[in-house]
Amino acid sequence: MTVIPMNELKPDNVTRAARRLHGIVNKTPMLTSRTLNERIGAQLFLKAENFQRVGAFKFRGAYHAVSQLSPAARAAGVITHSSGNHAQGLALAASLLGVRATIVMPENAPPIKKAATAGYGAHIINCPAVDREKVCAAEIAAHGYTLIHPYDNADIIAGQGTAAYELLQSAAPLDYIFAPVGGGGLLSGTALAAAALYPACKVIGVEPAGADDACRSWRDGRIHRLEQVPPTAADGLRTRFVGERNLAVMTRYVADMITIQEDEIFSTLQFLWQRMKLLVEPSAAVALAPLLHGRFHPPSTARIGVILSGGNVDIPQLLNDYASYFTTE
C-alpha cells in the first residue's frame, strides 16, 4: 500500500478509502426531521458523525492515513497537532494499528478532548496554539516521527470523504451537501465523494465569520492566513489557514462558501440539542446554520445533505463561557 501523492487526489480515492474502511468505521445514521424540513422548506438528511468512533468524523481519515503507511513509517511513530477531534482520531487509530502516537495540543484545547486523547494512549505535548506547527516540526526533527497532518494530507482527505460517500449512498440524489470547514479536510473529502457518486450535487462549505480564511482562500484561489487563532466557539474550526491540497480540491469541486455569525451557531446548536435530541458540538452546528437562518434559500424540491461533524462537547464549559448566547425560548 502506498500513500496517495498530492497530484493524484481524485474522486476515486474516496471510493477506495470507503472500501478500506468498511467494517472499521461506524456507518453513522442518517437522520431526518419533519420540523426541520418544514422550517427550511426543503428535505434535509443529516449525517450524524457524532456517533462515529471517537465521536467525530476525524477517525475516518486518521485510520485511513495510518493504515497506508509503510512498515518503517509505522515503526517511527506518528505525530500531529490538533485541538481535539483529529487528536482523538489519530490516537485511537494508532492504538488499533499498534503505532505510537504523539499529539501536540494547544493549551486552550477543550479538557474533555485532551482527556479522551490521553485515554486512547497517545502522548500529549501542550503548547500555545500559535506554536503548534513549530513544536510539531521540532519533535519530528528530534525523533523521526511521521506527520499525519490534520487536513493537508491526501489519505486524510480521502478518508474524511467517506462520511459524504455513505450519505450519498443512502440518500442520493442530493442537490446539495453542506459541510463545515476549518482546514478543509472534511470539505475537500466531501467534494470528492460527491464528484465520485453524484457529480450534479453541489457541495457548499460553511465557516464561522470570525474564522473566514478558507472562504477568502477559496474565493481568491490562494491561501489566506489568519494572524491569530480565530475567536469562535467552534473549536474544531479554529485553524488559521486552509491546506494546499484542500484548497486545490475545493477550488475545483466546491460550489460555494458561506460564513455565519456566532449567535447563529448557538441558535442552531440549541435547535439540534433541544428539538432533535442530538448532542453535537458547535463545529457540527455550523453546517446547518445557513439553512436554519436564511443565509441560503433552497428550492422547495431540494434534497439537502448536512454533515454533522462531531459531538465532543464539554457542556458545562460551553455553557459557562458562552452563557449569553443561549436563549430560554
Write out the DSSP string of 74-109.
HHH-EEEE-SSHHHHHHHHHHHHTT--EEEEEETTS
297: three-class secondary structure by DSSP: coil
Give the number of C-alpha atoms closer than 13 A to the C-alpha of residue 7, restricted to the C-beta side: 0
Question: What is the rounded CA–CA span in Å between residue 286 and residue 72?
Answer: 39
Catalytic pick among 82, 83, 217, 309: 309
Residue 6: CB atoms within 10 A of its CB come to 12
Nearest to 186 by CA among 163, 209, 167: 163
Helix (H, G, I), strand (E, B) or coil at 32: coil
Which one, of 64, 86, 61, 90, lies nearest residue 77 by Cα?
A: 90
Which of 71, 103, 86 has its CA nearest to residue 151? Answer: 86
Tell me the three cell numbers of residue 103.
Answer: 499529539
Cis peptide leading into 29, omega within 30 of 0? no
Q: Is 58 a catalytic residue?
A: yes
DSSP state letter for 234: -
Question: Does residue 277 carry a catalytic annotation?
Answer: no
Region of 178 on the Ramachandran plot (φ > 0 left; ψ -120 to 50 alpha; else beta): beta
Buried b (16+ CB within 10 A) or exposed e, 200-216: ebbbbbbbbebbbbbbb
Selecting among 47, 58, 113, 114, the annotated active-site residue is 58
Q: Which residue reads 470539505 in cell numbers? A: 187
Write out the catalytic residue numbers: 58, 309
